[in-house]
Amino acid sequence: MKFEVQKSVLISGIFDCYKVADSGPNINPILTNLQLNAMSDGTVTCIATDAAASVHSTFKSDVSKAGKATVSAKLFYNIVSSMSGETVTIEKQENQVVITSQKAKFELNAMRDEDFPSIYIPATDAFSSFEPIVLSEIIDKTIFSVSNDDAKQHLTGIFMVCKDKLAVAVSTDGHRLSLSEYAYEGEFILPAGIIIPKKAAKEIKRLADSNPDGIMLAYIHEKKMLAVKAGETIMTVRIIDSKFPPYEQVIPDYKENVMVAPKSQMQASLKRIQLISEGAESGTILTLSKDLLKLTSTDVSKGKAFEEIEVDYQGEEITIAFNIRFLDQILGKIEGHELKMTFGGQKAAALVTPVDSTAFVAVIMPLKLSD
């Protein structure tokens, strides 16, 4: 195998493969590699997989000898990125991949090509159009509340439904739930819903963000696989084959005890309070009375923090505690200058939403208050 290519084209062509291969520890060392396949028509394909997600991308080059090469994704990407020349030559010589540009030359040990796993690529007609901004938004607004508990496999991903021109994404870790929904104009449908693993969802969002002009989606039911096509790149991910809980039953429909508060002021208060309570499960106590919110936090080794915020609150006086980090993450997903929180009582979940939008809904469970 031997081909010469513009450095910028090569970097763009291998980047998505590099990200998947280098995105975490792999039990099988071969999965830290990418495989290049140079064809006589000038097309070079690059593939990588971590077993859960796979990427297939193509780019054009000047191929003088067709063939394959399998090499460390991270090392190959870092070396190519560091090259100072505008063009790069890649050549496989026996068990080495030789990279040259101007006066720089690297000889990398190659892996056995036959050891690299094959990946499935859906046919072009399997894909349907979808808006990348919608996909990016619904993932961004739900990925933070995905569970990290592998014992609860059905909660370790984002549940996504696309039907009636409405895309809905939901996630929960049992302590909070987030839901995002946006209308879309694309032709893709997913009426029954699937669970996308958290790691794969991050990569899908990255693809959507880097291809704002349009993407294509396909769900391959028999393989339990979601595919994303962005330009010359196709990513496939294995969905979580489990049943997502009936999230609609968790979202309360409170009519009373409604607070409207300035978002930035409340976020700033929570950040200051976290200077006292820095633990992962640190709590803050919210005391609500007419048009006033008091925030209190205590750390036995550091002291106490108090804040007061003028809010629009109508309802009974309520004292309730929340995990500071969880509440702060939810507020960070609220668009606009104000947020709305609705309460069912000291021991009931609270509902958090934007004031003028239904695109995002969050539910957060309270912490137990000591007597």
DSSP 221-245: GGGTEEEEEETTEEEEEEPP-SPPP
User: For the segment 91-119, what is each residue's pLDDT rounded down to a tens digit?
Assistant: 999 999 999 999 999 999 999 999 999 99
Q: Which residue has the higher pLDDT, 371 or 137?
A: 137
The predicted pLDDT at position 276 comes to 84
Residue 238 lies in a domain: yes
Total number of domains in the chain = 3
Average pLDDT over the chain, rounded to whole? Answer: 93
The predicted pLDDT at position 301 comes to 81
Average pLDDT over residues 300-323: 93
Could you list the residue range(s) of the whole structural domain that residue 185 is in? 124-248
Between helix 132-140 and helix 198-210 the angle, nearest 10°, is 140
Specify whether 105 is located in the same domain as 142.
no
Specify whether 142 is located in the same domain as 84.
no
User: For the segment 205-253, what is each residue's pLDDT rounded down to a tens digit?
Assistant: 999 999 999 999 999 999 999 999 999 999 999 999 999 999 999 999 9
The predicted pLDDT at position 52 comes to 86
Specify whether 132 is located in the same domain as 241.
yes
Residue 62 token pair: 């000047």
pLDDT of 38 higher than 90 = yes
The predicted pLDDT at position 371 comes to 55
Specify whether 218 is located in the same domain as 236.
yes
Across the beta sheet with 62-65, what order do the strands follow? Answer: 62-65, 2-6, 87-93, 96-101, 104-109
Cβ atoms of residues 182 and 151 within 8 Å: no
Average pLDDT over residues 302-314: 93
Residue 179 lies in a domain: yes
Mean pLDDT check: name the lowest of 20-29, 32-41, 245-254.
Answer: 20-29
Specify whether 243 is located in the same domain as 260.
no
Q: Grade residue 275 by pLDDT with cuts at 50, 70 and 90.
A: confident
pLDDT of 25 higher than 90 = no
The predicted pLDDT at position 279 comes to 62
Average pLDDT over residues 48-69: 95
> How many percent of the chain have pLDDT more than 90?
87
The predicted pLDDT at position 23 comes to 66
Residue 209 lies in a domain: yes
Residue 371 lies in a domain: no
Average pLDDT over residues 184-203: 94
CATH number for 158: 3.10.150.10
Specify whether 57 is located in the same domain as 143.
no
The partner residues of 4 in beta bridges, in order of sequence, read 62, 89
The partner residues of 234 in beta bridges, in order of sequence, read 56, 229
Say what the pTM is. 0.91
